[in-house]
Structure 1
Amino acid sequence: MRKIPRTMSTQHPDNAKVPDWSKGEIIEGDDEVVEAYYSYLNLKIHEVMWDAEGKDVDTHVVRKLLSNYSEYFREKIIGEDIFLTYRLPNPKIEGAERKVFAETMESIPIAYDLAKEFYKGEKIPVFEVILPFTTSPEEIISVSKYYEKAVSGEEDIELYDGIYVRDLVGEMYPKSIEVIPLIEDKDSMFRVRDIVTGYFKVIRPKYMRVFLARSDPAMNYGMIPAIFMAKYALSTLYSIKNETGLDIFPIIGVGSLPMRGHLNPINYRNALEEYDGVYTFTIQSAFKYDYDEPIVKDAISKINEYTVKEPRIFTNNEEEILKKIVEGYVSTYQPIIESLAPAINYIALNLPRRRARKLHISLFGYARSTGKVTLPRAISFVGSLYSLGIPPEIIGLSSLSRLSEEEWNFLRENYKKMEIDLRESAKFINPDALDRIKDIWNLDEWVTWKIKQDLDFLENNLGIPIGGSDYESKKHVLLSSLALLACKEKREEELREYIREMAILRKSLG
């Protein structure tokens, strides 16, 4: 059995600070190659996700790594000791990126040829790809078959009179690749059994890695639903493993702040304990660059060594309770976010950019008959609400007041670190923010009333105080008031500086 990575470095632009080795405030181009090497060498991260989604992808990354850092990569073999995994654009959703999908797939045999020459032997540096927005088994089956038939299979195309493609460019290796579904929406999380078993029946892999999103579900449905959707999926994946004998190694995409998973160098133990069953954790940019390097390295070492524990496998009745909690929360959360969209989008435009990315707007997971609400991607979404003084973790909490005793007990038993997550978020609440936001963006009265209900539930039902006692959280609250004043007065340069300072204080952009 190959080595399965425990940590995966990603290019998520959630860092407030800029690393010393970056040529500028935006990490782009060859700096991302440097970052990959830094992640392997300095941080001892097992795997790097090379993102071809939403940017101009550098398909020559293997060539650059092997040529620029040859001494290191002669000792650490890509594809055996450390790993490079491509995240593709989903051609069914991102129509303009379809040819990028094809270009990225075509680069895999090129990487093989480079590695064969470098290592003087048969080495496969890239053999896995991640497909975002996976909603059905057919999508990942299609990716697998596309590679087999349109990439490695093209060697059998006859060009002319007995001359084949392989005669011109050589044979194509590897002959097949492994596809990791990245599951991001509620319906697909609840259909994870169909996605995994459907792929298994056709492709018959020896094992599977399944990637569970945590940020986009939190943005679309609320933090607590996102956590329970992930736990539902983990329960289901381990059930499939027990039923079929198929080894499944779940990946979870977590960021530093509670809304996005609360995996950072300070809270990593709690995150590991919260997500039993997860084999690979993403190490995003805020984790890597917003904390002192010694504690970053120590935390990554501990994650790499952590013994994976099996998750709780839910009964049918427990699954129904879980879904009821999720749906009840979503019905409270989504209308509030929809109403806050103008404020969120305005602040998002003033957040500092940390990666060279094409404009990528998320379709909010809720549509009214009046039209569809668009929001920024999850990092900007979270950063905007923190900057406004309303951490998104608290929105929708009052829905929990409607839970039965059985449902409440299930919630407390299965969201083990709820109090820790909410206490961390509550430190950054600005009690004066709501009235100011209402004034600036003409919010309906019911929106501020609903959020005040959430705050009341936080304090009076959960016993978690609003606002922090430490210097950083108090300063953050003051800066959010100044940011709102700057919004009102249209002083965008000052607004951007306040936003940047707040991000540094909370050690994550969003």
Structure 2
Amino acid sequence: MDHVPMSMCTQHPDNAQVPNWVRDSVIQGDDEVHEAYLAYSLYGCHEVMWDFEGKDVDIYVVRKLLSRYPEYFRNNVLGRDVYLTLRLPNPWVETAEKKLFSQALELVPTAYDVAREFYGDDNINGVFQVILPLTSRAEELIFTYKYYERVVAGKAFIELVPGVRVMDVLGSVRPNTIDVIPLIEDLNSMMSIDKIIIGYWKVVKPSYLRIFIARSDPAMNYGLIPAVLMAKVALSKALDLGRELGLEVYPIIGVGPTPFRGHLTPYNVDSVIREYPCVYTFTVQSAFRYDYPEGEVVNAISELNHRAPSSDCTVPDHGVLINIINKYVINYQREVEGLANVINRVSNYVPRRRARKLHIGLFGYSRGFRGVVLPRAITFVASLYSLGIPPEVLGVSTLEELSEEEYSALSEVYVNLRHDLTRAAKYVCHECLDLLTKYGHAFEINGETINEVKRDIKALEDMGIKTGPNDYEGRKHELLAQLLINSLIEGREEDTTKYMVEMALIRHAIG
């Protein structure tokens, strides 16, 4: 890499507003190619994530970008000045998408050929980095690296008929190798990120390593506070190991617009940078780009691009933080199990902003949740906000169980704790909880679950954090949440999506 990207525009479907260049309400096909161009040229993102995970994707993206926008890419060389990074499906987890793993990797040498033709330069690798989601073992990274090296690039040397190698007909396959970026998403993998890194390093010996820390799925699976603490521990371990090995480690973090998913908005950049000072690359998701004034978005991305990341993200005693996580997860997951039926019902009305395939989060794969299956993180968040139960609230009463040492460590490590909780608390709807209690049978939700949520809300109030609306927009959101619940009770489901969209516009994000 000639420089480490500071901003990565992604295709997360969390935008409430639909951009005016989209042909309908769903961004797909050629719209995503144009979107990638705008990410670079208009918004100033250093990098675009081209996502093969859980969605149909255009494999001709590089050819289309260079042929449709030649003037821009003549002056901004793909693979040198700006980057296109592929997110692969994980064949060990997403078994229905196994073959797409190889299809995605074949895009890399095709991109090289197109870039060589466009730039007239043999030394430009248009695409050379891939992200492996749900990474849990070093072997997955090694397999990905070697599959490309030996199968994708290595096939050039195979002699299919006597004296004729593949390269003699199809040409050489370059680049010879790729950079593999682990995307770490579950608790066990984050806590053992050092083992994943060192296992990969021993075999591949990379000159540098980018690691990708998830924030959305960990929050959905374990709760807001555990997600932040997990990220902090993982970052600390990775950077400490990098120094020990003499390996440059460049962290990426996947932050969305709501506090639950990372709280990166154009108006909250400084707070997020302060929370994760050692992160090099922040994801700039769809709501960030499309739900705020364009000028504010461009300025905020510029701020991300011009900061100086810290080299240190050390956190105090990991054991204390892990104790907090373990206590919190028990309460949070119990509450989510109790709310699962109503979450899944309401999720059917969340508007689609991307053409995504069926997907379930780690919650659905885990044996510990007695078969509970949840929607994707963005839809999960949207459903709870639309019910007047911000997901940030769930499990907060756990803070009352913490020892003085644990609470002190939490306050030191989670810098924006009160800031994030305060932002979310304004969307609490007390009347909605009363409605869900009254009509619990219709929503398959029991009274004890509602009481647990009320305990969480009381814990926020005991911290001095006001819950419920504090301005006109908040009061409007509260009223819409009540109308949404009543629309479901009365069978007026044609209104449900309308109310959900109106609430999302107020929040500047679907989820």
Interval containing the TM-score (normalised by the shorter chain): over 0.9
Greater CA drift, 369-378 or 104-113: 369-378
The CA RMSD measured in Å over matched residues stands at: 1.2
Query: Does the C-alpha gap of structure 1 residues 365 and 194 become closer, same or farther in structure 2, counting only changes over 3 Å?
Result: farther
Equivalent position of 1:164 in the other structure:
165
Aligned partner of residue 80 in structure 1, secondary structure: coil
1:406-425 paired onto structure 2 within 5 Å = 406-425=405-424
Q: Distance in 2 between matches of 1:197 and 1:277?
A: 20
Cα distance, 1:363 vs structure 2:
4.1
Query: Does the C-alpha gap of structure 1 residues 492 and 118 become closer, same or farther in structure 2, counting only changes over 3 Å?
Result: same
Q: Distance in 2 between matches of 1:178 and 1:272?
A: 26
Q: Distance in 2 between matches of 1:139 and 1:368?
A: 22
Once the two structures are superposed, what CA deviation does each residue of 1:14-48 show, in whole Å capped at 9, x if it has no partner?
Answer: 00000111111000000000000001000000000
Cα distance, 1:361 vs structure 2:
2.1
Aligned partner of residue 5 in structure 1, secondary structure: coil
Counterpart amino acid of residue 467 in structure 1: G
Q: Which one of the candidate residues 446, 449, 463 is aligned to 1:447?
A: 449
Aligned partner of residue 129 in structure 1, secondary structure: strand
Once the two structures are superposed, what CA deviation does each residue of 1:289-328 show, in whole Å capped at 9, x if it has no partner?
Answer: 000000000000001011112344235xx10000000000
Unaligned stretches of 5+ residues in structure 1: none
Query: Does the C-alpha gap of structure 1 residues 107 and 393 become closer, same or farther in structure 2, counting only changes over 3 Å?
Result: same
Equivalent position of 1:382 in the other structure:
381
Equivalent position of 2:291 in the other structure:
290
Equivalent position of 1:44 in the other structure:
44
Q: Distance in 1 between matches of 2:369 and 2:46?
A: 47
Q: Is 1:99 the equivalent of 2:104?
A: no
Q: Distance in 2 between matches of 1:300 and 1:19?
A: 18
Q: Distance in 1 between matches of 2:281 and 2:381?
A: 23
Query: Does the C-alpha gap of structure 1 residues 324 and 267 become closer, same or farther in structure 2, counting only changes over 3 Å?
Result: same
Q: Distance in 2 between matches of 1:339 and 1:102?
A: 40
Query: Does the C-alpha gap of structure 1 residues 54 and 81 become closer, same or farther in structure 2, counting only changes over 3 Å?
Result: same
Counterpart amino acid of residue 208 in structure 2: Y
1:78-477 paired onto structure 2 within 5 Å = 78-122=78-122, 123-315=124-316, 318-364=317-363, 371-438=370-437, 439=439, 440-460=442-462, 462-477=463-478
User: Is the contact made by 1:363 and 1:372 (CA closer than 8 Å) also made in structure 2?
Assistant: no
Cα distance, 1:444 vs structure 2:
2.1
User: Is the contact made by 1:256 and 1:264 (CA closer than 8 Å) also made in structure 2?
Assistant: yes
Aligned partner of residue 358 in structure 2, secondary structure: coil
Q: Distance in 2 between matches of 1:57 and 1:15?
A: 19
Equivalent position of 1:16 in the other structure:
16
Q: Distance in 1 between matches of 2:72 and 2:344?
A: 44
User: Is the contact made by 1:275 and 1:311 (CA closer than 8 Å) also made in structure 2?
Assistant: no
Identity %: 50
Q: Distance in 1 between matches of 2:231 and 2:127?
A: 27
Q: Distance in 1 between matches of 2:477 and 2:270?
A: 26
User: Is the contact made by 2:54 and 2:357 (CA closer than 8 Å) also made in structure 1?
Assistant: yes
User: Is the contact made by 1:361 and 1:375 (CA closer than 8 Å) also made in structure 2?
Assistant: yes
User: Is the contact made by 2:425 and 2:467 (CA closer than 8 Å) also made in structure 1?
Assistant: yes
Q: Distance in 2 between matches of 1:301 and 1:182?
A: 25
Q: Distance in 1 between matches of 2:448 and 2:366?
A: 19
Once the two structures are superposed, what CA deviation does each residue of 1:234-258 show, in whole Å capped at 9, x if it has no partner?
Answer: 1111101221110000000000000
Aligned partner of residue 109 in structure 2, secondary structure: helix
User: Is the contact made by 2:5 and 2:281 (CA closer than 8 Å) also made in structure 1?
Assistant: yes
Greater CA drift, 282-291 or 465-474: 465-474
Once the two structures are superposed, what CA deviation does each residue of 1:90-112 show, in whole Å capped at 9, x if it has no partner?
Answer: 11111221111111111211110
Counterpart amino acid of residue 328 in structure 1: K
Cα distance, 1:368 vs structure 2:
6.5
Cα distance, 1:472 vs structure 2:
0.9
User: Is the contact made by 2:426 and 2:468 (CA closer than 8 Å) also made in structure 1?
Assistant: yes
User: Is the contact made by 2:363 and 2:374 (CA closer than 8 Å) also made in structure 1?
Assistant: yes
Once the two structures are superposed, what CA deviation does each residue of 1:333-390 show, in whole Å capped at 9, x if it has no partner?
Answer: 0011011011111111101000011111224168567831000000000000000000
Q: Distance in 1 between matches of 2:338 and 2:470?
A: 31
Normalised by the length of structure 1, the TM-score is 0.98
Query: Does the C-alpha gap of structure 1 residues 442 and 152 become closer, same or farther in structure 2, counting only changes over 3 Å?
Result: closer
Cα distance, 1:468 vs structure 2:
2.5
Q: Distance in 1 between matches of 2:94 and 2:126?
A: 27
Equivalent position of 1:30 in the other structure:
30
Q: Distance in 2 between matches of 1:150 and 1:108?
A: 13
Greater CA drift, 438-447 or 298-307: 438-447
User: Is the contact made by 2:186 and 2:362 (CA closer than 8 Å) also made in structure 1?
Assistant: no
Q: Distance in 2 between matches of 1:328 and 1:476?
A: 32
Q: Distance in 2 between matches of 1:497 and 1:142?
A: 46
Q: Distance in 1 between matches of 2:150 and 2:359?
A: 31
